[in-house]
Structure 1
Amino acid sequence: MIIDELMKYAAPEAGTQVIKDIRIGLGYTCVELSGGGCGLAYTFRRDTGHTCSVLGTAGTLLGLPVSDMLTWARSDNIIKAALGLATINALINRESPGMTRANVADALEVRKQDTFGMVGAFRPILKEIRSRVGKIYVFEEDIEDGNGYYSSDDIPRYLPSCDVIVLTATSLINHTIDSIVDHCQDAREVCLVGPSTPMCPAVFSRHGISLLAGSLVTNPALALEIVSQGGGTRNLRPAIEHVLQRI
């Protein structure tokens, strides 16, 4: 699994670090490490169940070895998986050679005749891409009547025909990324996008991903505050920088 490869890649960075702070917000989950790193991952709030407690170990996590929380990325508990991915991002998402601040829609190598696929609706990207490609497929878990999107069940049928694909990094949290990537083998461009994205070319280059569009947390204290107040991507703008890395 790709998540196992990411865990293996990030593990040496953990060292003796411990968890300094955690916020599980309605939009994002944020993890700050004792070494100063800070990472984000999406919160699947609709999938947390109907009990008042979604994490049995709540209240005991500060001071936990980072190497322990790292392994949660593989959990079937959607909150633990988000904490694990945020920990991976806190360890490895840092400034590195080849990173740029370009607009992701501009960076996508699309052509007028292309069939464009998007797994997870990123509306700002869609708005810019619509006039630049021939056909668009957007796949979502929750489809509203009349929105023109396709069910995720339709991915095996339509995604293999797409020339350019944008894939949400939340697929790492719900463990669907491996099966989705299997249907991207013929695409010319595959972009993994969102603040949940681990900026790890070493891993994703082995799976046909050609572009990473993620975030670096530049103000951990502010990011933690925004997340704990239910903030989303737009609210986080003062605390993060969106970055691109071509593989």
Structure 2
Amino acid sequence: MLLGEIKRKTLPLTDGLELVDFGFALPYTWVLVEGPEGRALGVAMTLPEEVQRYTNSVTEPSIEAFIERADSLNVIERTLGLAAINAVSQYHIDLSNAEWADVLELLPEDVGKIAMIGNMPPLARTLRERDFNVFVFERNAKLWDKDTYSDALEYHLLPEMDAVIASATCLVNGTIDMLIDRAKKARLFVLTGPTGQLLPEFLSGTRVTHLAAMKVVDIERALLGLKLGSFRGFEEGNKKYVVEV
């Protein structure tokens, strides 16, 4: 499981960092860490449709305790674990070579079939307006529309795709390994969204080519948005970036 490999790479990077605060909440679960170089905020999208009557096994919260459970079958533990991994990643990440751009700028004009993992209507609409052949897959039936495929079809259709734009929530719901395995033809594989705040080297050797995430540039503003359950409030404290794996 890729998350198991990522957690093993992250744990040594927690030295010198302290857990300041955290919250399992909507729309994002978040973890705030602090070290000699300052503070960093990591998030992971909370998927309420995945949450059942789990009991969290963490009795003494810490960065390490959260990260150790990043590959748990318990989605609450997995979400907190990924948010902690993202916080550590954001503390250490070097964005000097990052592009402060949008994921759309990565797509070559001659790309054929594009798979979008997770229904992102504004992005799908823009791609179709540019005459790209887009296949949108979504697990949550509440987010389906007339042009959406069930995620059950990903296994069969991904080998045909030339590019994949995947919501990084595939790390939370545990489908990332299957997506990487099946997207054998894709020359572009982008993990997008705030949940993709990972260090790019964590994905070295996989088919993932880019991370399109958000750097929190105003922690207080972003944190207030998170505590108020506001997408827009959180994103106002962020800046989009794209980094190559």
- Structure 2 length as normaliser, TM-score? 0.89
Deviation digits for residues 215-239 of structure 1 (CA, Å, limit 9, x no counterpart):
112222222221121112x332221
Q: Deviations over 1:29-76 (max 9, x none)?
A: 111013222101000122223x6xx65568x65xx3312211121112
State the one-letter code of the partner of 2:189. V
Q: How far off is 1:147 after superposition?
A: 2.0
Matches within 5 A, 1:40-51: 40-49=43-52
Cα distance change on mapping 1:146 and 1:32 into 2, 3 Å: closer
Give the superposed CA RMSD.
2.1
Q: 1:84 aligns with which of 78, 81, 85?
A: 81
Residue 173 of structure 1 is matched in structure 2 by 172
Residue 133 (structure 1) shift: 4.2
- Quote the residue 2:199 is aligned against: 200
The answer on 1:37 being equivalent to 2:28 is no
Cα deviation code 1:71-112 (max 9, x no counterpart):
12111221211111111111112342321111211222242x
Aligned residues: 239
Q: Distance in 2 between matches of 1:97 and 1:166?
A: 23
Code of the aligned partner of 2:81 = G
User: Structure 2 CA distance, aligned partners of 1:129 and 1:16?
Assistant: 44
Gaps of 5+ in 2: none
What is the CA distance between 1:181 and its match in structure 2?
A: 1.0
Does residue 150 (structure 1) correspond to residue 166 (structure 2)? The answer is no
**Counterpart residue type for residue 241 of structure 2:** V
Alignment of 1:1-247 (within 5 A): 1-35=1-35, 36-49=39-52, 56=56, 64-93=61-90, 94-111=93-110, 114-143=112-141, 147-232=146-231, 234-247=232-245
Counterparts of 1:182 and 1:133, CA distance in 2: 27
Secondary structure of the 2:76 match is helix
Report if aligned partners of 2:127, 2:134 keep a CA contact under 8 Å in 1.
Answer: no
* Greater RCO, CA 8 A, separation 6+: 1
Opposite residue 140 of structure 1, the aligned amino acid is E
Sequence identity (%)? 26
- Contact 1:28/1:42 (8 A) holds in 2: yes
SS of 1:99 mapped into structure 2: coil
Is the deviation greater in 95-104 or in 157-166? 95-104
Q: Is the 8 A contact 1:23 1:224 kept in 2?
A: no
Distance 2:244 2:134 in 1: 23
Distance 2:40 2:210 in 1: 23
Using the size of structure 1 for normalisation, the TM-score is: 0.88
